[in-house]
Amino acid sequence: MRTFFPAICLQARRRGALVLFADEMSMRVDHRGGTTWGVAGRTLSVHAGAERQSVKMFSAVGVDGTLRYRLGYGSMDRWAFIEFCAHLLRTVTGLIFLMVGGSSIHTARAVGDFVAHTGGRLRLFFLRRLSTST
């Protein structure tokens, strides 16, 4: 990484690209019963559904310190990642150099096809493999 990142930054600066580091996370939001505070002498009643739910978040931090993110529900898969990339393309003018991990979400054929159809506006750089997809 120390060897390649300066070269990526130099290339980005020459081409006017924004360098972003992206990752994703999922957080469960279902109810966990327990104890709580209340008024003395009054019995509290807490109602919560038993349905399991989660919130997913894709985020990207720029080398300039900016943060871009998108929240959603459902599966965290290649289609959700493509939606996030499309969101980045809508909100960022110019080229984007997106640094990502090597998970199957990032390396899926559908993602590669999407990147190929961006007209060069989006490039993915895989941190674990230290290679690039154009």
pLDDT, one tens digit per residue, over 10-24 is: 999 999 999 999 999
Reply yes or no on whether the pLDDT at 1 is more than 50.
no
CATH topology of domain 4-24+55-133: Nucleotidyltransferase; domain 5 (3.30.420)
Q: What is the dihedral of CA 72, 73, 78, 82, to 10 degrees?
A: -30
Query: Of the given ranges (36-40, 61-65, 73-77, 102-106), which has the lowest mean pLDDT?
Result: 36-40
pTM metric for this prediction: 0.77
Per the prediction, the chain carries an average pLDDT of 85
pLDDT average, residue stretch 110-117: 97
Q: Above 70 in pLDDT, residue 77?
A: yes
Q: Helix, strand, coil: what percent of the chain each, to 5?
A: 30, 30, 45
